[in-house]
Amino acid sequence: MSLAWFPSIRSTNLLPGIRDSGDEIDVSKRRIRRITASSQPLPVPFNLLLFFCKLTFPSLSMSDQSSSAGASSSNCTTEDADALRRNRILSTKLYFDVPPSKAPIIYSTSYDISFLGIEKLHPFDSSKWGRICGFLIENGVLEKTRIVEPLEATKDDLLVVHSKSYLDSLKSSLNVSIITEVPPVALFPNCLVQNKVLYPFRKQVGGTILAAKLAKERGSAINVGGGFHHCSADRGGGFCAYADISLCIHYAFVRLNISRVMIIDLDAHQGNGHEKDFSRDRRVYILDMYNPYIYPLDYEARKYIDQSVEVPSGTATEEYLIKLDEALEVAGNAFDPELVIYNAGTDILDGDPLGRLKISPHGVTIRDEKVFKFARDKNIPLVMLTSGGYMKSSARVIADSITNLSNKSLITMGGT
């Protein structure tokens, strides 16, 4: 995930001297990658922007340092916070029953972002999600009436992971503009920003959470959106305002009787949000395959990746797929999950200005097929999220890959 309104941040390596010099150790069958870089300075232009923001809006807080996931009151004990979280999860409306006549494909027209036309000024395809479904219908693998429409994640739903102060910080349009990396958003009243930007995201979060329930029932499910892997409990960034992956996992723990989850994050960017949220949680195993020389350069979060596979700029299809084969074999031997969350970003595509990898469209199809086979062979439910990758060609590539998954019976579109 991540966007390009600040091309200078994304298109050049502003921190060329910073490299990890980590070593790998085995701890109780879990491979822990240790990164010894001590700190991660923000790119200079971003620091300047933050400085300007703080000068102009001194009350603005991008993160809540005092919060912990799910605890909305600093007076809460850990037990209170756990009980509150559990109650919120048990009382959610997001986990509704999906009739068998529906396909395990989750999407709402609300996912697509239109913002008074300014989205057209940006190369980012803000209607990617709808176009994916359009191509699936065109390909003959999906009927419109079989698409599952999720509910919007409410404030109570979001508080399962997020702090109240973080959610409150989204009432600042400037803050949302920084998180989404779309500066013009700062100029609009927050009610408009809530309606046009954050509401679509909250619908996508509802889709990710529901996808785990559907995957458990059907074997696999795809949320045609979500995958906001740069957002953690108390900090957004890189176009990610809500931590849908962390939320999805916490709901699955409580509602699906699941105690071990594997995140397979194959977006081109390192997924620092879920890495921070599950930093000390041994129920979650993270395999992250990413370009180490691009955003977010989050060296602290890298410490929490169980299996780190670096694919430097310029990596081509064949080499990428060999590395993926090796990685999946290692992951399968290291951890025995009851649910796989697959973050299937398409910013690995050749030509993507942010990912800087050189994977062909067919390579993306093969990649997705390998991950689905990995889960199916072990009989593990799989949730796929579309995550980053916003070239105009991305929607077609994703739809063709899902079509291939359907043709090979790796996902059952169902319907009676």
Report, as residue numbers or ranges, the catalytic residues.
Answer: 230
Give the residue with the Cβ less far from Zn ion, 172 or 270: 270
User: Does residue 215 contact residue 104 with C-beta atoms inside 8 Å?
Assistant: yes
User: Does residue 186 contact residue 174 with C-beta atoms inside 8 Å?
Assistant: yes
User: Does residue 197 contact residue 115 with C-beta atoms inside 8 Å?
Assistant: yes
Using CB under 5 A, which of 226, 292, 337, 388 touches Zn ion? Answer: 388
Give the residue with the Cβ less far from Zn ion, 225 or 345: 345
Note whether 227 binds Zn ion by CB under 5 A. no
Locate tokens 């999860």: which residue?
A: 89
Give the residue with the Cβ less far from Zn ion, 346 or 365: 346
CA atoms of 396 and 125, how far apart (whole Å): 12
Q: How many residues interact with Zn ion (rule CB under 5 A)?
A: 8
To Zn ion, the closest distance from the beta carbon of 58 in angstroms equals 32
Using CB under 5 A, which of 119, 125, 267, 306 touches Zn ion? Answer: 267
Give the residue with the Cβ less far from Zn ion, 64 or 350: 350
The separation between CA 242 and the C-alpha centre of its own chain, rounded to angstroms, equals 9
CA atoms of 223 and 219, how far apart (whole Å): 14
To Zn ion, the closest distance from the beta carbon of 268 in angstroms equals 5
Note whether 178 binds Zn ion by CB under 5 A. no
Note whether 347 binds Zn ion by CB under 5 A. yes
What are the C-alpha distances in Å from 227 to residues 201, 243, 278, 342?
Answer: 10, 8, 16, 9
Query: Binding segment for Zn ion among 299-307, 334-342, 358-366, 384-392 (CB under 5 A)?
Result: 384-392
Using CB under 5 A, which of 130, 226, 345, 363 touches Zn ion? Answer: 345
Query: Binding segment for Zn ion among 158-166, 169-177, 316-324, 338-346 (CB under 5 A)?
Result: 338-346
To Zn ion, the closest distance from the beta carbon of 230 in angstroms equals 8
To Zn ion, the closest distance from the beta carbon of 311 in angstroms equals 12
Per-residue mark of binding to Zn ion, 34-73 (x: CB under 5 A):
----------------------------------------
Q: Please classify residue 34 by burial: count the beta carbons closer than 10 Å to its beta carbon, then call 0-12 exposed, 13-18 middle and 19+ buried.
A: middle
Note whether 337 binds Zn ion by CB under 5 A. no
Task: Give 31's strand partners.
Answer: 26
Note whether 226 binds Zn ion by CB under 5 A. no
To Zn ion, the closest distance from the beta carbon of 4 in angstroms equals 11
Give the residue with the Cβ less far from Zn ion, 267 or 277: 267
Query: Binding segment for Zn ion among 4-12, 215-223, 274-282, 383-391 (CB under 5 A)?
Result: 383-391
Give the residue with the Cβ less far from Zn ion, 2 or 307: 2
Vertex 181, ends 178 and 187: CA angle to 5°? 65
Note whether 1 binds Zn ion by CB under 5 A. yes
What secondary structure does DSSP assign to 330-369, as a single string?
Answer: HHHHH---SEEEEE---TTBTT-TTT--BB-HHHHHHHHH
Give the residue with the Cβ less far from Zn ion, 173 or 346: 346
To Zn ion, the closest distance from the beta carbon of 27 in angstroms equals 28
Q: What part of residues 268-307 is at the interface with Zn ion (CB under 5 A)?
A: 268-269
- Closest-approach residue to Zn ion (CB): 388
To Zn ion, the closest distance from the beta carbon of 97 in angstroms equals 33
What secondary structure does DSSP assign to 78-115, as a single string?
Answer: HHHHHHHHHHHHHT-SSSPPPPTTS-SEE--GGGS---
AA identity, residue 402? I
Interacting residues of 379 by C-beta distance below 8 A, sequence separation 6+: none
CA atoms of 309 and 322, how far apart (whole Å): 12
Give the residue with the Cβ less far from Zn ion, 271 or 381: 271
Per-residue mark of binding to Zn ion, 21-40 (x: CB under 5 A):
--------------------
Long-range interactions of 181-190: CB distance < 8 A, separation 24+:
181/2, 181/3, 181/4, 181/5, 181/6, 181/238, 181/239, 182/3, 182/5, 182/118, 182/122, 183/5, 184/118, 185/115, 188/115
Pairing of strands 105-106, 220-223: parallel
To Zn ion, the closest distance from the beta carbon of 376 in angstroms equals 25
Positions in the binding site for Zn ion (CB under 5 A): 1-2, 267-269, 345, 347, 388
